[in-house]
Structures are given as structure tokens and as C-alpha cells.
Chain A
Amino acid sequence: MPTRPGTASVLTVMVVVAVVMTATVSVRAQGTTNAQATARVLTALSVTASNDLVFGNVLQGVPKRIGTNVDDSTAQFSITGQASATISMVLTLPTYLSRTAGGEQMMLVFESDQVVVDTNATSPSTVTAGDGWLGQNPYSLPSNAVVGAGGQTNVYLGGKVIPSPNQIPGTYEANIILSVAYLGT
């Protein structure tokens, strides 16, 4: 059927308008803006065992206790990290020492006041109540402990060995593990 004059022109105009609209819409769809995700990683948290829990010589049947204030004998852990950041601390404590030559165990106990948390990182013999927490339970360390303002907190641990009356002479050992982690508060 023949097309009427003018019809083609109308169609042409509609197509052009449609193309222009499409182009306009398309240009608007490509609008962009930028945001940034940022984070600052704070000082790494680390812990080292700087001194062992040393009972020295013990006698058969005679319990021996090491307090939290003996520089050479108290176990010492040094925690370093972001100053004032809260941390969790968990001690994994043995219940006995094993004879290094094998075949024998000796009872080891930790009483409920044998930990000191020293946020001023002084020393076992000089730490005071103002430095942190004294007389803490090693099985439940303070939940609000922090890395000290100077970036370090020390943990001091005592204990008691209970040799039996017929304990076999020799050297006995066991591992004490301190795990620390940031709490994010």
C-alpha cells in the first residue's frame, strides 16, 4: 500500500526523538561517584615467655610454692601491642610435671591467687596494686585486661609442686601456655 506523503517524515522524527531520548537516558545511567573503604591496622599483638616457672630443688614429700613476686623463679610473659587495647588472656595450665627421664609425674597446682597482671610492665618483685591486678585466678584472668599505656603488659605466674614421699629423684618439666587476642573494644 502506498505510503502517504508526510507519513515518512513523521516516522523519521519519532525515531530521531527516540534515539535522542535513549541517548539521554543512557548518559544519565553512567553517572558515578566514589566512596572509600579505609582501615588502619594497629600494632600487632604478640606474647613471649620471658622467664620459666622455676621450682629448683625440691624434696620428697615436701610441697614447694613459688609466689608471683620472685624475679628469678616466677613465670613471666610479656605481651606487646596497641597501647590501651583490651585483650583476652587464657592460660593453659598443666596438672603435673613429667620426669624428663620418663616414667614419673609430679603434681603441680595453681592456687586462685597466683597471677599478677602488670600493665606497667615493671617486674614481679616491684609490681604494686596500682600497676594492674594482683592475686588473680590463673584459671580466670581479668576480662577487662588491657595492653599497658606503654604498649606492654606483663603476666606473672606462680605455682606449687607437691612431690610424693617416694617421688623418684630427677628433673621434671611441663609447658605453660598463654594465649592472647585483641577483643576489639
Chain B
Amino acid sequence: MNSYATKHLSAVAFSGTTRLLMAVLMVCLLFGSAAAQDVAVATATATVLGTISVSATANLDFGQVLQGVETSTANNSADAAIFDISGEADKGMNLVLILPEYLTKTDGSSRMDIIFRATDASVDTTGASSPTTMAGSKGWQNTNPFSLPAGAIIGSSGTSIYLGGTVRPSANQPAGTYEGDVVLTVAYNGS
């Protein structure tokens, strides 16, 4: 009896499977190879150009100064600060100088005023890294260090920034060596 029931159930199960296969077959026949859905893939691509970088290759050197005697270094002198910029040629960049208001005696015991005038910077798009040979035809000469040219670009051989300034030692300025940081930040601006 149990054997009969088992066989009977098996026969029912087989019948269901057959119907399922037939249904699948019917669906395949009905729809054939026609696609009811599809997928496509596109690619997003971008190429990042050359890295922009800047290095300080010469310090702004005032040399020896006397108490109470204002001393300047011109941006076209051999003692001017030099920043050299490299990156993708002919691309525009933003230039921002962060300028100190004083120099600090290396032992930290005293300060000395430093000022930058509106003509103390030059932007040399030939990348010559040579303040003494700078000319107006090479970029921007005697420009404002607090507002460097918005149209500055990286020259095919780089771009150099030259910076001068003025120190104003007080009448009783303590003797010693004084220092301060001048920071130039550069970035592509997309132009």
C-alpha cells in the first residue's frame, strides 16, 4: 500500500515537472529571441594633466642692515626671492603670496618690521629663474605681491616669481639675525 502511494505521488510529481517544462517551452516559443530588456555600458574617461608644483630657489636676502636705516631689496636684484613653478604649459593658475609683517630674531627675543610695496613682485613666464634679467616682455614686472596677476600662466619652461621687499629696523633694533617665512601657493584655475 505504501509502495503504491509512493509510486502514485511520483507519477503526480513527474506530471507537474512536465507541465513546467511545457510552460517554459511555450514561453520560449512565444517570445523567441526577442529581448524585453537590454543593457549598455558607456565609459567615462578623463585625463589628469601634469602636476603643478612650486619651489623656493632663493631667499629674500637683505644682507646687513643698520639700526634705524630702512633697507630694500629690489625684485630684479640678485638678492630677490625666487619661486619656480612647473606644470602644464599655457595653463592658467592662481598665485597667492602670504607675506610676513615682521622678521623674528632667530633667538625669538625681538622682531623687525618688513613691508612689501605694490611693485615688489614680478612674474616671469619664461621660467628663467633670473631676477636680474627680468623684463616687461617676459610677463608682469613690478606687480603687486598682495594681488598677483589673475591671468598668470605656466610658461613652456615654467614660470618664476621674483619678490623684493623692505625691512625697517628700529633705532634700537637688537643686533642679530632675523628671519620670516614668505609662502607662495599656486593652483590651476582651469583657464
CA distance A51 to B189 in the complex (A): 28
Complex contact B36–A45 (CB within 8 A): yes
Per-residue interface assignment for chain B, residues 176 to 191, with 1 indicating a CB less than 8 Å from any chain A CB and 0 otherwise:
0000000000011110
A149 at the interface (CB under 8 A from B): no
Complex contact A41–B31 (CB within 8 A): yes
Q: Which of B3-11, B12-20, B44-52, B125-133 participates in binding chain A?
A: B44-52
Complex contact B44–A170 (CB within 8 A): no
Known: A39-B30, A62-B189. A55 touches B88 (CB 8 A): no
Known: A45-B37, A60-B188, A181-B36. A176 touches B42 (CB 8 A): yes
Q: Which residues of B contact A157 (CB under 8 A)?
A: 42
Closest to A178 in B: B40
Q: How large is the interface on B (under 10, 10 to 19, 20 to 34, 35 or more residues)?
A: 20 to 34
CA distance A165 to B53 in the complex (A): 11
Complex contact A169–B50 (CB within 8 A): yes
A148 at the interface (CB under 8 A from B): no
Q: Which residues of A contact B37 (CB under 8 A)?
A: 45, 179-182
Complex contact A52–B44 (CB within 8 A): yes
A51 contact from B31, B42, B187, B190, Cβ within 8 A: B42
Complex contact B35–A44 (CB within 8 A): yes
B32 at the interface (CB under 8 A from A): yes
Complex contact B44–A173 (CB within 8 A): yes
Q: Which residues of B contact A54 (CB under 8 A)?
A: 44-46
B39 at the interface (CB under 8 A from A): yes
B43 contact from A57, A79, A165, A173, Cβ within 8 A: A173
B33 at the interface (CB under 8 A from A): yes
A167 at the interface (CB under 8 A from B): yes
Known: A41-B30, A169-B51, A172-B48. A47 touches B40 (CB 8 A): yes
Known: A44-B35, A177-B39, A182-B37. A97 touches B188 (CB 8 A): no
Q: Which residues of B contact A168 (CB under 8 A)?
A: 48, 51
CB distance from A110 to the nearest CB of B (A): 10
> Which A residues are within 8 Å of any B CB, using their own CB?
39, 41-49, 51-64, 75-77, 79, 94, 97, 106, 108, 157, 159, 161, 163, 165-182
Nearest 7 A-B pairs (CB), nearest first? A181-B37, A55-B46, A59-B188, A49-B42, A62-B190, A53-B44, A47-B40
5 residue pairs bridging A and B, Cβ less than 8 Å apart: A41-B31, A60-B187, A159-B44, A163-B46, A178-B41
